[in-house]
Structure formats: C-alpha cells, structure tokens
Amino acid sequence: MPNPSPNKRKDNAKRARQNSPREEKQHGGQGDELYLELFYLIRTLQAKGETKEEQLRILQTQLDQALAEIKSLRTIEEAFKDSLGNTQKQQEDANERIERCESDQDGEEDELIRQSIYSRRWKNRNKGNSK
C-alpha cells in the first residue's frame, strides 16, 4: 500500500482554495458577492423545503382527520342500515296483521249478512205460521 502524501487529508476531502488577488481582480472582486448570493439561494431553498414539509404535515393531519370522519360516518351508516332493517321488518309485520284483520273482518261481515238473512227468513216463516 502506498504511503499517503503528507499534504493529503485522510478523508480525501478537497480543501477550499483561496482566491489569489489576481483571480479576484480577474473576476472583479465578485467572490464575496457570489458566495452571498449562493448562500442566499441555499437559505431560500431550505426555507421552501421547510414550507413544503409544513404543508405536508398539515395535509397529513387533514387526511388523518378525514379518515377518522369517514370511519365515524361508516359506523353511523351501519347503525342506520340496522335501524332501517328493523323498521322494514316491523312494517312487514304490521302489514301482515292488517291483512289478517281485514280478512277476519270480511269473514265477520259475511257471517253477519248470513245471520241477517237467516233471521229474516225465520221471521217471515213465523209470520206465515201465525196466520
């Protein structure tokens, strides 16, 4: 294994190079301005990222609330379905009782008519025998 150079860092990271006065003159002394502009852009991106993260947290909270509300509404829906089923069963039972009562009433009316006819005949026979 070759010996590392004493000038090299162990983590192989590159060192930042200082601008020479000649380079600063060549770039018009914009090194600080570029650095500040780059720093500002990075901070702006970080702020936007934090804003997006906050928006995601808010959306996640709203989604959780919506899911809880949907679960609650499903529970209420099931209760309504059960109640509707019971009401329909009671309605069917009531309709059956009404039909039985109407049938019984029709039978009773027929019996009353039959008895009325029989009673008139009996009266008419008795009138004819008493003369």
| pLDDT of res. 15 | 44
Q: Which two tokens stand for residue 129?
A: 């025998």
How far apart are alpha carbons 110 and 102 in whole angstroms? Answer: 12
The residue extents of the domains of the chain are 33-124
* 61 phi, psi to nearest 5 deg: -60, -45
Q: Could you read off the pLDDT tens digit of each residue along the chain, which spans 131 residues?
A: 455 544 444 444 444 445 555 544 554 556 788 888 888 999 998 888 889 999 999 999 999 999 999 999 999 999 999 999 999 999 999 999 999 999 999 999 999 999 999 888 888 887 766 65
- Alpha-carbon distance 87 to 90, whole Å? 5
28: left (phi over 0), alpha (psi -120 to 50) or beta: left
Task: For residue 28, report the phi and psi dihedrals to the nearest 5 degrees.
Answer: 75, 25
Residue 93: the pLDDT is 97
pLDDT of the residue at 128: 67
Residue 14 pLDDT: 43
pLDDT of residue 22: 52
